[in-house]
Amino acid sequence: MIYLDNSATTPVDEKVLDTFCKVCMKFPGNANSLHRLGIQAKELEEYATDKIAKLLGVNSHEIIYTSGATESNNTVLKGIASKYKNRGNHIIVSPLEHSSVLETCKYLETKGFKVDYVKLDSSGLIDIDDLKNLLNDKTILVSFSYIDSELGIIQNIKEIKKILKAYPKCYFHVDCTQAIGKIKIDFNDMDFLSMSGHKIFGLKGIGLLVKKEKIVLDNLIHGGKSTTIYRAGTPMLPLICSLMKALELVIPKIQSNYEWVSKLNQMIIEGLKKYDDIHINQMPSSSPYIINFSLKNIKPETFIHAMAEEEVYLSTQSACSSGDISRSLEAVFHDREMASHSIRISLSYKNTDLEIKKFLEVFDRVYRKLLIKND
Ligand code: PMP
């Protein structure tokens, strides 16, 4: 099997699973219980949260555990909208956002919020002049992904933060789901950060929202106190420790992993350049982890299925919006045809050069076979 759909999710790392199982068996208590088992669980929870905070360069009080980035994104968008609706009703996002942001925005529009979609420049970067035009005294939140899941464009978050400094009542949320463990992130550049464990060989069902300590939010989930007052439910200690492990495995190796993945990326790009009918949808600031291309004469679904029969796994676009025309591609390239024919290869540091060689062989065979069928 050659798995090249790592932006959709990654297979769990054995060490992460091992941590999860050990904590399940050895720490059965509820971290909020007063007895010995509760105290042991609480101590481990604090230890893991401190470790996670250190790895991310944030304060441990700023961490809110969630079920994943979808919940983190919902918590920020709805939490800010509800808490600060008297201050303003204006939110700015980009067309590159994940469905968990875009659909939440649609919901907020039904509640009277005004959502603007900032323009992108010809490189797919946030158009800074348009952002400046859209910002006003009623803007309570700007939410952008650091790296989008379809084209993998790395946004200039530092530059955007500088502009937002003139709007102290407007908070800045950055969806870092495709960025954590892949590029260095400075939490000083944002007010909120979303991420998910399963994109970094962690378990599905655990994610984070990091919130600047002083910002108050309305809760999405109410109930008893968990690890913070912002998200109720029994602290999910085994999942928290599994996330700590997943972060421990990737954060210290960001640079070397980036270099390795860039090498694999180059191999693929060189391989795909040979085909006249393939357009590589790459931008100057694309992350090496994501390669997006459009096949002109073959339906992407047909191609994905034919590759899967050879045990090579790719995807059409973001797994959460499969089947639609890629909104991100349309926004960047203004070409519906290209947007409806896009395929995404997403790499991880665990992919090998042998796998990429084999992928290119299978690609060539499948591509030629489908072209002949189409003739
Ligand atoms: N944001 C981005 C940029 C993503 O790529 C994803 C996952 N595809 C999410 C949010 C949602 O993450 P989760 O699956 O953990 O809810």
Q: What are the pLDDT digits (tens) for 278-299? A: 999 989 999 999 999 998 888 8
CB atoms within 10 A of CB 352: 11
- Domain boundary residue, one of 208, 225, 251: 251
**Which residues contact residue 281 at a Cβ distance below 8 angstroms, ignoring those fewer than 6 apart?**
151, 292, 293, 294, 329, 332, 333, 338, 342
CA distance 311 to 3: 8
Which residue from 295, 292, 318 is spatially nearest to 95, judged by alpha carbons?
318
Closest CA to 56 of 246, 326, 323, 217: 246
Q: What is the CATH number of the domain that holds 192?
A: 3.40.640.10
> Quick one: 243 and 260 in the same domain?
no
Cα 100 to middle of ligand 1, angstroms: 7
Three-state DSSP string of the chain: CEECECCCCCCCCHHHHHHHHHHHHHCCCCCCCCCHHHHHHHHHHHHHHHHHHHHHCCCHHHEEEECCHHHHHHHHHHHHHHHCCCCCCEEEECCCCCHHHHHHHHHHHHCCCEEEECCECCCCCECHHHHHHHCCCCEEEEEEECECCCCCEECCHHHHHHHHCCCCCCEEEEECCCCCCCCCCCHHHCCEEEEEHHHCCCCCCCEEEEECCCCCCCCCECCCCCCCCCECCCCCHHHHHHHHHHHHHHHHHHHHHHHHHHHHHHHHHHHHCCCCCEEECCCCCECCCEEEEEECCCCHHHHHHHHHHCCEECECCCHHHCCCCCHHHHHHHCCHHHHCCEEEEECCCCCCHHHHHHHHHHHHHHHHHHHHHHC
pLDDT at 280: 94
More confident residue, 177 or 328: 177
What is the distance in A from the centroid of ligand 1 to the CA of 187? 19
Using one digit for the tens of pLDDT, what is the confidence trace for 83-120?
Answer: 999 999 999 999 999 999 999 999 999 999 999 999 99
Distance 4 CA to ligand 1 centre (A): 17
Lowest mean pLDDT among 12-16, 221-225, 330-334: 330-334
Nearest to 166 by CA among 195, 193, 131, 194: 131
Residue carrying the six token digits 């401190």: 50
Q: Is 100 in the pocket of ligand 1 (CB under 6 A)?
A: yes
| Lookup result for tokens 């991100």 | 328
Same domain, 184 and 239: yes
**What residue numbers bound the domain in which 97 lies?**
14-251
Nearest to 337 by CA among 375, 287, 300: 300
pLDDT on residue 334: 79
pLDDT number for residue 317:
67
pLDDT band at 367 (very low <50, low <70, confident <90, very high): very high
Mean pLDDT value across residues 289-318: 91
Which residue shows structure tokens 């960001």? Answer: 254
**Is a pLDDT exceeding 70 seen at residue 269?**
yes
Domain limit, last residue, from 184, 217, 251: 251
Centroid of ligand 1 to alpha carbon of 177 (angstroms): 6
298 and 160 in one domain? no
Tell whether ligand 1 has an atom less than 6 A from the beta carbon of residue 152.
no
Protein residue with its CA nearest to atom 7 in ligand 1: 8
Q: Residue range 210-237: average pLDDT?
A: 91
**CATH at residue 348:** 3.90.1150.10
The answer to whether residues 212 and 261 belong to one domain is no
Asked whether residue 205 falls in the same domain as residue 261, the answer is: no
Number of domains in the chain: 2
Percent of the chain predicted with pLDDT > 70: 97
* In the predicted structure, residue 225 carries a pLDDT above the cut 90: no
Give the position, in ligand 1's atom list, of the atom nearest the Cα of 204: 15
Q: Does residue 107 sit in the same domain as residue 34?
A: yes
Q: Of 174-178, 219-223, 225-229, which has the strongest mean pLDDT?
A: 174-178
> Which atom of ligand 1 lies closest to the CA of 148?
3
CA of 226 from ligand 1 middle (Å) equals 23
Does the beta carbon of 196 lie inside 6 Å of ligand 1? yes
Distance 68 CA to ligand 1 centre (A): 7
Q: What amino acid positions are annotated as catalytic residues?
A: 320
C-beta 175 within 6 A of ligand 1? yes
> Residues 216, 306: one domain?
no
pLDDT above 90 as % of the chain: 87
Ligand 1 atom closest to the Cα of residue 97 is 3
Is the beta carbon of 242 within 6 A of some atom in ligand 1?
Answer: no
Does the beta carbon of 74 lie inside 6 Å of ligand 1? no
63-70 mean pLDDT: 97
Residue 374, pLDDT > 80, answer no
The strand pairing partners of 279, in sequence order, are 294
Residues 227 and 346 in one domain: no
Residues 85 and 189 in one domain: yes
Least confident range from 34-43, 95-104, 196-205, 229-238: namely 229-238
- Which segment of 64-73, 112-121, 224-233 scores lowest on mean pLDDT? 224-233
Locate the ligand 1 atom nearest the alpha carbon of residue 8 and give its number: 8
Triad 279, 324, 2: Cα angle to 5°:
60
User: What pLDDT sits at residue 253?
Assistant: 98
Is the pLDDT confidence value at 310 over 90?
Answer: yes
Q: What is the pTM of this model?
A: 0.96
Same domain, 213 and 309: no
Confidence of residue 323 (pLDDT cuts 50, 70, 90): low
C-alpha of residue 155 to centroid of ligand 1, in Å: 17
- 208 and 266 belong to one structural domain: no
Atom of ligand 1 nearest to the CA of 71: 16
4: pLDDT strictly greater than 80: yes
Which atom number of ligand 1 is nearest to the Cα of residue 319?
8
Residue closest via CA to ligand 1's atom 5 equals: 149
pLDDT at 156: 98
Q: Which of 146, 149, 287 to mutate to test the pocket of ligand 1 (most atoms within 8 A of CB)?
A: 149
Q: Is 342 in the pocket of ligand 1 (CB under 6 A)?
A: no
Domain boundary among 222, 251, 280: 251
Average pLDDT, the chain: 94
225 and 303 fall within a common domain = no
Mean pLDDT within 71-80: 98
Q: Report, as an integer, the average pLDDT of 3-10.
A: 98
Q: What is the pLDDT of residue 19?
A: 98
* pLDDT at residue 321, as a whole number: 53
Top-confidence range, 195-204, 214-223, 230-239: 195-204
Residue 325 has pLDDT above 80, yes or no: no
